[in-house]
Amino acid sequence: MHIHILGICGTFMGGVAALAREAGHRVTGCDAGVYPPMSDQLRALGIELIEGFGAEQMALQPDVWVIGNVVSRARLADGSPKFPLMEAILDAGAPYTSGPQWLAENVLQGRHVLAVAGTHGKTTTTSMLAWVLDACGQQPGFLVGGVPMNFGVSARLGEGKAFVIEADEYDTAFFDKRSKFVHYRPRTAVLNNLEFDHADIFDDLKAIERQFHHLVRTVPASGRVVVNGLEESLTRVLHQGCWSEVCSFGSAVSDFTAEGEPHDFAVQRNGRPVGRVQWALSGVHNQLNALAAIAAAEHLGVPPAEAAAALGRFQNVRRRMELRGSVARAGGDITVYDDFAHHPTAIRTTLDGLARRLGTPRGRILAVFEPRSNTMKLGTMKSQLPWSLENADLAFCHSGGLDWDAAEALAPMGARAAVAANIDTLVQQVVQAARGGDHIVCMSNGGFGGIHERLLKALKT
């Protein structure tokens, strides 16, 4: 089969492309601004990439067109279609489907699907779960919205019955406004946490809770719903109806709990010690992610002690507090990290985890971030930014492209916050403020203009 993927360079659609290629299909694709690292990974797999969404691609005549949710029926100012290829596909009556639907029909059918959903931690927890199953001999397939360092790839078919997938609540495609995860029909569903997000497509938290309940409805009676016992929103989801075994984690009365610091803790099952996790990760959020992965792996027969031991060898995911480099200075090295945090809660948990790991006394934490997600661009959560940055000694915000006043939003932080409309000015601000022993955390769900390397270069001069 020949499939042509529109929007192939996104992490999810790129993963679909890699799985299709591994399954023996001919895969081609297109995107606007075909960009690395996904473009490099796809070309290494022998996948032809085309720049743009021109209608001339109809000449490829694939068996099916797979449509990413970057594609819409939008029109440009002159009235012409923004995605002429999509218009040509519709005019021709050619066969098309969404990425999640293609995945469900061609990869997930007949597998034990373990789907990891939640506002935060999906990528990390999916990676943890895939690693635990792999380390315990189950050879799972997986599709992750990032690159787990234990595997070096974001997706593989796997030889075992298990398939672990990051289950996103964002909509499927312009013609299918359901959340992606309703297509996956998991036997094991992880509900990691749930907050308001994606303000561009959801009106309120209740609307997202409804989508999460749609996921719960698809889990069979013999399945398991692994749920964060600390989240009132998830309690409301389950109160709408649940027909499967529920296994909770995190709260004092949950099935799985942790005793100890996030980097070294005992895992307890119904109050009884069943394993210990000792690793390089930090933050209570990662401790909770670990409990979720252990509870999900147990559903496939992995003893918690073995799962905990495997997590001791977990190497995290690229762009999750990834060390990008350090520069020697009097008073200690200045260290630069890259993190994907793009929501106020994610920013706060990232900085809290670093502060806990460093202990006291410690060097300063400098938070450098850009509000780049659709929700943050809309300004829906701007009032939460000072709260999210409480653990930062200094904060630097890239305000370029925002329709709201970042300086006003950060005013409660006083002199601890600075704003810059372009990356060059932002780099100058950070370099002028930095001193020996500082920890600089760059947070964005995009490339952030290569700020990590630019900071390291500027700090060396």
Annotated binding-site residue numbers for ATP: 118-124
Tokens standing for residue 35 = 């960009």
Residues in the annotated binding site:
118-124
Answer for the pair 257, 271: CB distance below 8 angstroms, yes or no.
yes
Residues 67, 96: Cα–Cα separation, whole Å: 7
Answer for the pair 123, 320: CB distance below 8 angstroms, yes or no.
yes
Q: Beta-carbon neighbour count of residue 258 at 10 Å?
A: 21
CB contact set of 110 (below 8 Å; sequence gap of 6+) = none
CB contact set of 283 (below 8 Å; sequence gap of 6+) = 262, 349, 350, 352, 353, 354, 356, 357
Tokens standing for residue 207 = 């609307």
Local structure of residue 105 (DSSP, 8 states): I
Tokens standing for residue 310 = 């495997």
Answer for the pair 316, 126: CB distance below 8 angstroms, yes or no.
no
For residue 394, give the H/E element and its range.
strand 394-398
For residue 44, give the H/E element and its range.
helix 38-44
Helices H, strands E: what count in the chain? 15, 23
Beta bridge partners, 247, equal 226
